Structure 1
Amino acid sequence: MSDEQYRHESLNVLREIRDTQREILAQLAAQRTLAEQQVARSRDKVEESIGLQRLALQRQRTITLIAVPGILVCIVAIGYLVLRYF
């Protein structure tokens, strides 16, 4: 193989490597964009979940403030009836 052929072959190999690297970089850019979108969606879902949990805690507090006194009143009333009739 002559020196000129060797240079030509080397140049072709280098061009193939360059083209392959460009393709890989394009694929990586697409994957990065997809990953960023998934992270954004995940962040939105987490925020929504936290909001729903806060709402559930508020409702639980409200129910507790209403139900616990009602239950205590019922227990006292049952106790009164038991003491009165026995």
Structure 2
Amino acid sequence: MNIGRYRITDVADMPPALATVLGVVVIALLAGVVWALLWLPDHAKLRSPAARERAKRRKESQKRQKELRSRRESLQRKAARREDTT
């Protein structure tokens, strides 16, 4: 007898009380998995106003830094071109 290979007919041959307990356990397990997935902390959500404000400031700062970096690289390329032509 293979323990891991039950067929639906094998479950149907179980006593009704055991089948009921097995059904309740399976449903409870599924409900627990769904509940756990729904209540997992979502780190992408910004729950507090302070966290939202920090995220906004961080995003603006990153945007400013990107613009400054792009400007600096552009000036460096211009300076390199001037050196090449002279």
Regarding TM over 0.5, the answer is no
TM-score of the superposed pair, with normalisation by structure 1: 0.45
TM-score of the superposed pair, with normalisation by structure 2: 0.45
Q: Pick the structure with more helix per residue.
A: 1
Q: Which has the higher contact order (CA 8 A, sep 6+)?
A: 2
Q: Bigger radius of gyration, 1 or 2?
A: 1
